[in-house]
Every structure is written in structure tokens, then in C-alpha cells.
Amino acid sequence: MSTRTVLVVNSGSSSIKYQLVDPDAGTAIASGLVERIGESSGNVKHTYGDQTVKRELPVPDHAVGMRIVLDLFEEVGPSIHTSNVVAVGHRVVQGGSVFDAPALIDDDVVEKIDALSPLAPLHNPAHITGIKVARQLLPDEPQVAVFDTAFFEKLPAEAATYAIDKKVAAAHQVRRYGAHGTSHQYVSQEVARYLDRPVGELNQIVLHLGNGASASAVKGGHAVDTSMGLTPLEGLVMGTRSGDIDPAVVFHLYRNAGMSIDDIDDLLNRRSGIKGLSGENDFRALHDMIAAGDADAALALDVYVHRLKKYVGAYYAILGRLDVLTFTAGVGENDDVVRARVCEGLEPLGIVLDPERNAGRGGPKVISADGSPVTVLVIPTNEELAIARQSLAVVEAR
């Protein structure tokens, strides 16, 4: 097979997601996931062409999980050994102030990712496990770490800095790192390509609205602000995360509600956001509830949209001039109601939606009216392709 491929691996605390990508065609050749690693029974799913294989079996650890994945490639296809895999690209959530670009993995890079674990205690240790196993099982393929924070590593100091005692912040690496950077970078570049304009000319706001959600302000291809902070908890209202709250809520619950720090962590990360307000975190279900007259669901959507509008306004002010506003990820690409609600009333700011263009799912497409001073777009994100292309670039630059 002469087509070159990149194996993209996203190793989580109890899961491994993977995709074999053709970085030149921009297509996924095969994909799958291993879930519930370490539990009594795990789930495995592998898709190649029109074949999908699903299995339920114990997956005691990541090494076994990765071995199962490689066996499935041999059994169902395509064989990893004849797929011309030129790189294995690993998604890494936290690159701290250390990584502002993807890195070719060696022992030193592994150590540095490990050292950043206090900033991403659930993610970085899981990435390290995945990287170690992949290096063992695929020793001949170069491995690359692609960081979710890299696009925001060079945020202007005034956007990256929390206004807290600078000695405490420095001692504990407390700053705004952002997240979803691979998506914001990819989408902002795709915007330029779609509009056939140099990215360096464009002032953009990108709204990545998935289960996690984040906004970024991008000036000339460089991020100048983003809504996620030390962790992905800050910023927009999300599926299950609160986004911005008064930090004193934590003290209040700790002191007066008998909640431990772990309880509050769980509350704000997993029992808040749209789910906390309505009981559901999927927007399709949320709209059904609203249609059925559920007041909690209606308020959840109002709170979600209100926060988004605040960020659009804030980033507009920071950019000074806005050329493009882009919606991406599961909600951004598919939910025309959310898009319409966010843009409603922003006509005086030059954001004029065309209701017919906005209707329906998918993209890429322009959804602003002809003559709208700000172009509003839907651009599908593709983090796996972005990781594959960045990994390939690192390998080619060796």
C-alpha cells in the first residue's frame, strides 16, 4: 500500500480511542475504541470500511487494550504492518508552559509530560500509559505528542495570567492554559482556506461547542484569548461542566454543605452545566424537553446562550474588529437553534444571520446574510486529522 497513514491515539484514564488516518486525503481509514479498561468487563469496537466489530471482554489494562486494538487491525483490517504507518500521533491534554508545538516522543518528552500530571491528574498519566504501550508494541514507528494546550501556550500575558498572588501562581504553575487547542487551530485555518483568504488577515472568534465547549479569539492565526483556563472547567456552560462561577462557591460548599473537595470537583465537572440544570446533557434531548414545556430545560438553554453571547461580546472587544465568527463541534455543527439564539440581537455588531442558510446540520457553510459585515460560518472540526497532519509534519521535519 503506498498511501501513507498516521495512527492517532487518544488514551484516556479508562479508554483508548484510535483512528488510522490518511493525512493526505484527509480521511479516516479505520477507527475504534476500547472502553471500561480495568473494569470487570470492557467494550471494544473497531470499524474498517463497512465492517464494524463489537466485543465485550475484560481489558485489565492499557497494554492489553492496545494489544487487542492491534490484533483487530490484523483480523478485521487493515493490517498495521502493511498500512505504511509513518507516525503514531498521541493526543495529550496538558502541555503546560513546556510545549508550544507537537513533539517527537523520546524519554525526555515522556518525563516532561509526566511532570505536568499535577495539572491534568486524570489525563496525563493515562496518556503516558498509552504512549509507553504504543512505543513497546510499535517500536519502529515514530511517535508524536500533540498537545491540546499548544495553540494557547503563547497567549498574551494579560490573557494567560490569573490576578492572584504571583508567587503562589509561579510556585504552582497556575495560569490559563486553555484546551481544545488542536480544534481551534485547525478550524481557524480551515476558515481561511474556506474563504480563500490568508489566515494572517483574519480576526476570528471560534466557538467549539461539543460536550465540552470553549471559545477562542484568534488574530492573524494566533490565539489571543480562550475561555478554558488552568483546566477545561472554566468558561462556557458545557454538557456537564459549570464553566465560569464565583470561586467562592467552592468555599461556601466546602464550609457549609459538608462537601469534600472531591465532591465539589465531581459536582462542577460532572453534575453541572446543561445536565445540572435540566437533567440531560445532550442537546437533542434538551430541545425535546423544551418542546414538551419543561421550564428547567428552557432555563438551561437560556443560561447556555447568555454565557456564549457574553464571550462573543468580550472577544469582539479584545479583537477590536471581527471578520469571522465560526461554530464547530457537535452542537456548533448541528444545532441551528443554538446558533440562531447566539446571533440574535447582535445585528448592530455586524453579525447578521441568514435563517435559511443557518437551517439544518453540517458544513462547511456560510450562514450569515449577504452583506453581513461579519461572516458567520459552520466549519466541521476534525481533531484526529489535525493530530495526524501535525504528527506527519513533525516526522517530516526530522
Binding positions for ligand ADP, rule: CB under 6 A: 210-212, 239, 281-284, 329-331, 334-335, 361
Rounded to a whole number of angstroms, the minimum distance from the CB of residue 10 to ligand ADP is: 10
Residue 29 grid cell: 481509514
d(Cα 224, Cα 119) in Å, to the nearest integer?
Answer: 22
Q: Of the listed 108, 148, 165, 370, which one is catalytic?
A: 148
Q: How far is the CB of 213 from ligand ADP (least distance, A)?
A: 8
Query: In the complex with ligand ADP, which residue's Cβ is closer, 59 or 179?
Result: 179
Residue of minimal Cβ distance to ligand ADP: 330
Strand-pair category, 324-328 with 51-57 = unpaired
C-alpha of 95 from chain center:
14
246 as an active site residue: the answer is no
Cβ burial, residue 274 (10 Å; 0-12/13-18/19+): buried
Of 257, 159, 172, 256, the C-alpha closest to 217 is 159
**What DSSP line would sit under 82-132, residue for residue?**
GTTEEEEEEEES--TTT-SS-EE--HHHHHHHHHTGGGSTTTHHHHHHHHH
- Count the Cβ atoms, other than its own, within 10 Å of residue 12: 20
Q: Which residue's CB is nearer to ligand ADP, number 142 or number 243?
A: 243
The three cell numbers of residue 47 are 470499524
Least CB distance from residue 267 to ligand ADP, whole Å? 19
Distances (CA, A) of 3 to 9, 21, 23, 24, 143: 19, 10, 9, 8, 19
Q: Which is nearer to ligand ADP, 9 or 138 (CB)?
A: 9
Beta-carbon count within 10 A of 57 CB? 11
User: C-beta of 329: minimal distance to ligand ADP in Å?
Assistant: 4
State how far Cα 387 lies from the chain centre: 12
CB of 340 to ligand ADP, least distance (A): 13
Between 268 and 394, name the residue whose CB sits nearer to ligand ADP.
268
Is 202 or 379 the residue whose CB approaches ligand ADP more closely?
A: 379
Annotated catalytic residues are: 148
